[in-house]
Structure 1
Amino acid sequence: MEVIHLIAVYAAPTVSRRSGLWGQLKRVIENIAEPVLIGGDFNTILRLDERSGGNGRLSPDSLAFGEWINELALVDMGLRGSTFTWRRGKYTRNFVARRLDRVLCSAQTRLEPERRGNPKRRPFRFEAAWLKHEGFKDLLSASWNREMRTPEALALLKVKLKKWNKEVFGDLKQRKEKLMNDIKGIQEELERNPTDALLGREAALQKEFDVVLEQEEEYKLLPYEYNCSK
């Protein structure tokens, strides 16, 4: 079985407090023979295009960071979404953005691609989030056939619930993906031309996205159980 070492980093926000960190990490990694993944908040950039604004020069700390990566032959695994992983300021006059977070790996590290199951084969599940929808109880009451045996009534109800979930309630995953795409588009615009309007729109979308994440966490899919008698 292949062993992969994971190193999590949170570098101090000031240069003086993280002094010597690159040397310490170098000694740790050089003593590891197996593949290494190292990631987290390094609190410094690597290139000029990883920040919004600035004086057109890299700091000595950023240069040392780049030298550390080169000496260890580490590979930047890239990122999805916005170029910047940290930002501050709601208006253009105080807006600051940087790419401070990243994941690096040793050259010999090989990761298997994620294997996803067929979503069409996912068994039917009752979503607790349905209970929060104002029309769900009426739908449930109107859809239950008391003249049928329970197994047949449940099978019919399942068909109606799947249709209602798709057409009325909406798919949580689709809502999440749409918000992610909208936020990504806004952030790309911000990187090219930051405006107060775009920053406001991004904040609103992020707030809506947080609600979806809360729903996703709170309303886990539960096994479908419904007890009903004639």
Structure 2
Amino acid sequence: MLKKFNIDILALFETHAGGEKAGKICQSLGFEHSFRVDAVGQSGGLWLLWKDGCGSVTVVENSDQFIYAKVSDGEENIHVVVVYAAPTVSRRSGLWEKLSEVIQDIEEPLIVGGDFNTILRLDERTGGNGQLSVDSLAFEGWVNDNYLIDMGFRGHRYTWRRGRTEQYYVAKRLDRVFCNAHARLKWQDPSVTHLPFLASDHTPLYIQLSPTQSSDPKRRPFRFEAAWLLHESFQDLLRNSWNNAVSTPHALQALREKLKRWNHEVFGDVNRRKEELLRQIKNLQDLLEVNQTDALLDSENTLMKELDAVMEQEELIWYQKSREKYIAHGDRNTRYFHTSTVIRRRRNRIETLKNDTGQWVVNQDELEALAVGYFQRLYSLDDVDATVERLPHGGFTELSREEKLRLDRPFVATEVVWEGSRLRG
């Protein structure tokens, strides 16, 4: 497994080894550095191993159930907490509270992962009595209280299994990886892969913070950006670009092309404009330290107004993409909406599918072929007779003349206002 994947940091649980034997094992795995919480007899064991290339690693705190380390490259820090929760509830007592103390004040990227020995939802196990245990509810409370984000997974649903026969077979998702909002914004497309079960009753978890992914910008759908409405030239563009002489579809197509060109040439990249304004403001304020003139103060005021407008546009962009329902006017929660967008995009992305032979497919071209093949079979003529049987006998009921006239009637302002207020809840 280590030969197949390029691993910088490795965490091992339930090692059942300690002392000199543990040291020799760490060296044989090809890692220059390690920190071990050795097993007591044949129970437990928690190791963290890392290579020179991942930067400076400092173990900040540890116990028999977790290791907290800080990874630094000299410019930024990444906080890593590997967890091996004890298999019994009594031995796990106090673990969630202790972990909260460790991570609650971290305002930098944080990764928390390992074997938590409990589940969050009923669909994370086979069988069961239909309700979550008190320990699972406490685990859920810990996740929510610390605003942790589940990084998801690809591959098998369960990470632990036991039983060789159908009667005794049990499987659960006991292992997972969380991160905080800082990490989610830094790495927007991380992947956690559940590898095959091999020598353990737990599946290994392979984490890639920045996996190589290809995306075709030509495939991105064109969407109206609500932030355009805040730009001073948008209303004139819309007024001058709409053509009443052609049909609505053709007018929309022509407007679409003009909007794409205007977005690229005039509206531009909001983040780039914000960074440029911040740079100009900093330079101007440096000058004000030396010479306080009306011209400089007026320039600062103008730039601050431009920055405020750009930040309002930025917030509206991320709010629109996040699909959140409510926004408090004047409350700039751009990071929250940005994080919501990243999470939604990840949930909507299909990263792996199982083909007809039961193999997991991750190649983009193969995924597309699988999807196309599925819908081709779904809408083929093979089942046309069965489909016809489900249609209403005697045809569909025809609309009355009054109903047709009502559908053709133009919208009125009161209807639009009523529907808008109804959508807002």
Q: TM-score, normalised by structure 1?
A: 0.50
For 1:62, what is the secondary structure of its paired residue?
helix
Letter in 1 for 2:210: P
Gaps of 5+ in 2: 1-74, 188-208, 214-353, 362-425
The corresponding residue for 2:155 is: 81
Question: Cα distance, 1:13 vs. partner?
Answer: 0.3
> Which residue in the other structure is 1:35 paired with?
109
Provide structure 1 residue ranges, at least 5 long, that are not aligned to the other structure.
117-177, 186-230
Specify the code of the residue in structure 2 equivalent to 1:8.
V
1:44 to 1:90, Cα distance in 2 relative to 1, 3 A: same
CA 1:183–1:52: 2 relative to 1, 3 Å: farther
Indicate the SS of the match to 1:27: helix
The residue number in structure 1 matching 2:86 is 12
Higher relative contact order (CA 8 A, sep 6+): 1
Instruction: Determine the C-alpha separation between the residues in 2 that align with 1:40 and 1:108.
Output: 20
1:213-224 maps to which residues of 2 (within 5 A)? Answer: none
2:144 matched to which residue of 1? 70
Aligned length: 124
Whether the 8 Å contact between 1:82 and 1:184 is mirrored in structure 2 is no
Deviation of the 1:17 alpha carbon: 0.3
Q: Give the superposition deviation at 1:80.
A: 1.1
Contact 1:7/1:38 (8 A) holds in 2: yes
- State the Cα RMSD in Å: 2.4
Q: Report the TM-score when normalising by structure 2.
A: 0.28
| Alignment partner, residue 172 of structure 1 | none
- The C-alpha deviation readout for 1:77-114, integer Å capped at 9, x for no partner, is 01111110000111110000000000000111122632
- What's the counterpart of residue 25 of structure 1? 99
Distance in 2 (CA, whole Å) between partners of 1:93 and 1:184 is 27
**1:93 paired to 2:167:** yes
The equivalent of 1:48 in structure 2 is 122
Q: Which amino acid aligns with 1:113?
A: S
Question: Is the counterpart of residue 59 in structure 1 residue 156 in structure 2?
Answer: no
Q: Secondary structure at the match of 1:39?
A: strand
2:100 touches 2:142 (CA, 8 Å); kept in 1?
Answer: yes
* Aligned-pair CA distance for 1:115: 3.7
Listed one character per residue, the Cα deviations across residues 92-151 of structure 1 (whole Å, up to 9, x for unaligned) are: 1000000000000011112263248xxxxxxxxxxxxxxxxxxxxxxxxxxxxxxxxxxx
TM-superposed deviation, 1:183: 5.8
Task: Indicate the SS of the match to 2:155.
Answer: coil
The match for 1:108 among 170, 178, 182 is 182
Letter in 1 for 2:151: M
Using the alignment, how far apart are the partners of 1:86 and 1:182 within structure 2?
20
Residue aligned with 1:102, SS: strand
State whether residues 42 and 100 of structure 1, in contact with CA within 8 Å, keep that contact through their aligned partners in structure 2: yes
